[in-house]
Structure 1
């Protein structure tokens, strides 16, 4: 049975499906898998600290003149997609799907790497977008009402704005480019949407073999559904006047790129034959196969000498010749003894 697994692990073309392969459960292998990636989790915690720091510091307060306010006087509106909803659909929903997959397949490698890859995708995207946000400091389309909530605008001698609104609202008003989910205090969500849902789209495409060249349009629709949801979230950010369209475009591009790179760290490209499973699963399968082959070879080596020795003792010609010689020697000794006895009687 294990030899069959080994052939599948090294790329046999016998038409076997993944359901015929070995299961690696959380109870039996979860601790081992987690220990192998302890450094990845430590780096993840470091990135969390960096992300928190990027949200604490103030962004660059770009010069905003009176003539620029024409494009920054859009009304200040609430979010169509609440901030609290972002981690639910971009992180929690994919994790639920990963767990459903685990209970069907029983592969802790797939579950662990899917969760780790997803978290890295969202977090790295957040770090990149927040770093750019703080460095660029582009004002949002509704910046005028953030800066002058009463509608009375003031400018210094150089023509730059003198804001008298809420400091936190003004600070957030300088984080337009690029659009992206950053933290619980963030008001920009599209990049997080593309990072989380983009990773989910890649995951689904690998699991259902969407690119198996069989022309099933239903698979493609399922793969594109998360991307459509992310795109609609991005459109809502423009409709709410929280972002310029360039912000959403750049944020979506960053999110998709990071999601693709993070996915390839743990999974083969979805279009490959084995794109449904993580790299570590096939490595573990091959290691187990080789270990059992060595064990089988060792058992064979132990049994072979005993069987061979028994056969030699029974069938080897030299053994038969030795037995005949022993019988002849005994007969000669007996006859010689009888002759000696006769001589003694004559005497």
Structure 2
């Protein structure tokens, strides 16, 4: 517990706190946290079970597909490619999409020292992955579409006298397939790609987390390695998605739709976990939760914040990001903020000066009397 037992004050002096103390000034109690988030956990389990049930259900829609021209030429070679072994099994894609971000949540505790941060960030990640998985399996079951190797699995044989549908009566359903029924059902559920959905749901969440904790897109020029680290999860997600096109399990549009679903879920899950997505002043701050079905708390945040919701005031949360670049943690970084969601709030210390105006201090207190000449010469810490 030594990793979580110490915290640094804003002035740089080391302080020792109780084992239940969360870094950045919040008290963590596991029992209270479970009561606050327990209903979410139950809902996520039910969503996961529902997703598994739909995943193993037979396809709802019976797709038509052309087989051959009357002269014997294959009409759709895009669904007649050889069947190959998948380069990335679905369980592996889901595992790395969860495990890699989780490892970074834990590693960052070397600086953050916050049990609540680990638990709540992991909850946000799971919300992204489970929501995306449920979303994609519903589309697979109800819509779907033939995979690139569909005809290889189908092994169609048209009985004598059976007339197809559509142009020149060349379209048939999977009733003419003679292959393995389970493989045939899987082969008509190409859209969207589950691999792509899981990869983007997990790795886009991690990329947003890197941006928030390392202050990549903020008020100072970051080190180049931070840019590489930010794009690394996105590259990983793209490699997993494109591998499914290479091995003939998906079309390009399947992985594109899966990527969009995963990205959308990652954005929503991140924004419901942290105070902002792009506003660098607040996107590392965990949003407080005051009550749930299992815990009714009318006075404020049961974990010690003393407020029912985040007010978007500089220094209100007492939470710091991992990085100390740009003056974070020593009350030196002052900025007018970014033109995104949190900047639009009207709270004191957050909206002063309009969308771009009004200086904000990323330390413990907001400072609205910054000397313009000092800022002009690059010293944002001097104030009148």
What is the TM-score normalised by the length of structure 2?
0.63
Q: Does 1:124 align with 2:131?
A: yes
The residue that corresponds to 2:179 in the other structure is 165
Deviation at 1:277, TM superposition (A): 2.7
Q: What is the alpha-carbon distance in structure 2 between the residues aligned to residue 234 and residue 225 of structure 1?
A: 14
Deviation at 1:69, TM superposition (A): 3.5
The residue that corresponds to 2:240 in the other structure is 233
User: Any conservation in 2 of the 1:110–1:277 contact (CA below 8 Å)?
Assistant: no
Q: What is the alpha-carbon distance in structure 1 between the residues aligned to residue 283 and residue 147 of structure 2?
A: 41
Q: Does 1:277 align with 2:278?
A: no
User: Any conservation in 2 of the 1:121–1:196 contact (CA below 8 Å)?
Assistant: yes
Q: What is the alpha-carbon distance in structure 2 between the residues aligned to residue 264 and residue 75 of structure 1?
A: 42
Q: What is the alpha-carbon distance in structure 1 between the residues aligned to residue 212 and residue 181 of structure 2?
A: 46
Q: Deviations over 1:116-175 (max 9, x none)?
A: 111111111011111111111300011010101xxx643642241511111111111011
User: Any conservation in 2 of the 1:138–1:177 contact (CA below 8 Å)?
Assistant: yes
User: Any conservation in 2 of the 1:69–1:144 contact (CA below 8 Å)?
Assistant: no
| Unpaired stretches in structure 1, ≥5 consecutive residues | 1-13, 181-188, 289-347
Deviation at 1:28, TM superposition (A): 5.3
The residue that corresponds to 2:217 in the other structure is 211
Q: Which of 233, 238, 259 lines up with 2:266 in the alignment? A: 259
Q: What is the alpha-carbon distance in structure 1 between the residues aligned to residue 16 and residue 182 of structure 2?
A: 55
Q: Which of 230, 243, 254 lines up with 2:250 in the alignment? A: 243
Structure 1 residues 28 and 194, CA, compared in 2 at 3 Å: closer, same or farther? closer
Deviation at 1:275, TM superposition (A): 1.9
Deviation at 1:83, TM superposition (A): 2.8
Q: Does 1:90 align with 2:97?
A: yes
Structure 1 residues 28 and 249, CA, compared in 2 at 3 Å: closer, same or farther? closer
Q: Does 1:71 align with 2:115?
A: no
| Unpaired stretches in structure 2, ≥5 consecutive residues | 1-8, 69-74, 165-170, 290-299, 308-384
User: Any conservation in 2 of the 1:109–1:280 contact (CA below 8 Å)?
Assistant: no
CA RMSD in angstroms, aligned pairs only: 2.9
The residue that corresponds to 1:177 in the other structure is 191
Greater Cα shift, 273-282 or 68-77 = 273-282
Structure 1 residues 28 and 131, CA, compared in 2 at 3 Å: closer, same or farther? closer
The residue that corresponds to 2:22 in the other structure is 24
Deviation at 1:72, TM superposition (A): 0.8
Higher relative contact order (CA 8 A, sep 6+): 1
The number of aligned residues is: 264
Q: What is the alpha-carbon distance in structure 2 between the residues aligned to residue 177 and residue 83 of structure 1?
A: 15
The residue that corresponds to 2:306 in the other structure is 287
Q: Deviations over 1:149-203 (max 9, x none)?
A: xxx64364224151111111111101111112xxxxxxxx111000011111111
Q: Radius of gyration: which is bigger?
A: 1
The residue that corresponds to 1:184 in the other structure is none
The residue that corresponds to 1:194 in the other structure is 200
Q: Deviations over 1:246-289 (max 9, x none)?
A: 1111110110011000111111224331322311299545429x
User: Any conservation in 2 of the 1:267–1:279 contact (CA below 8 Å)?
Assistant: yes
User: Any conservation in 1 of the 2:198–2:262 contact (CA below 8 Å)?
Assistant: yes
Deviation at 1:109, TM superposition (A): 2.1
User: Any conservation in 1 of the 2:129–2:201 contact (CA below 8 Å)?
Assistant: yes
Structure 1 residues 266 and 143, CA, compared in 2 at 3 Å: closer, same or farther? same
Deviation at 1:16, TM superposition (A): 6.5
Higher strand share: 2
Q: What is the alpha-carbon distance in structure 2 between the residues aligned to residue 98 and residue 34 of structure 1?
A: 19
Q: What is the alpha-carbon distance in structure 2 between the residues aligned to residue 27 and residue 160 of structure 1?
A: 64
SS at match of 1:138: coil
Q: What is the alpha-carbon distance in structure 2 between the residues aligned to residue 178 and residue 112 of structure 1?
A: 30
The residue that corresponds to 2:360 in the other structure is none
The residue that corresponds to 1:146 in the other structure is 153
Higher helix share: 1
Q: What is the alpha-carbon distance in structure 2 between the residues aligned to residue 199 and residue 130 of structure 1?
A: 20
The residue that corresponds to 2:351 in the other structure is none
Q: What is the alpha-carbon distance in structure 2 between the residues aligned to residue 66 and residue 31 of structure 1?
A: 60
